Amino acid sequence: MPKVNLSRYLGGWFVYALRRAKLADPTFPTLTLHDLRHTAASLAVSAGANVKAVQRMLGHASAAMTLDVYADLFDDDLDAVAVALDQARTISSVGKMWARSGQ
């Protein structure tokens, strides 16, 4: 079995990138790979991904697990649903009005 070089993983590309960022800007925040995972999930939700897509992207066992962690990000979806339902109701009402006027 080949010997694993742990220093490669402990001081890999991510740590190197963080060091360079901090050298360029000392106020750059310390990030973890987990922080980037949360950022990816947040961007996916804000781009309109549904909970099942985010679940698969993150490898969660269930959509419930994804919602437990990221439910607050999906709150904006409720506003979008309300707007879409209102628009559908308006279009339906106009269609009925036109149908009645043609009788």
pLDDT in tens, 39-90: 999 899 888 888 999 999 999 999 999 989 888 877 766 777 788 888 888 8
Q: Nearest Cα to 32, choosing from 12, 54, 15, 10?
A: 15
> What is the CB-side half-sphere exposure of residue 90 using CA atoms within 13 A?
6
18-41 pLDDT tens trace: 989 999 999 999 989 889 999 999
With beta carbons less than 8 A apart as the criterion, state whether 30 and 18 touch. Answer: yes
With beta carbons less than 8 A apart as the criterion, state whether 54 and 70 touch. Answer: yes
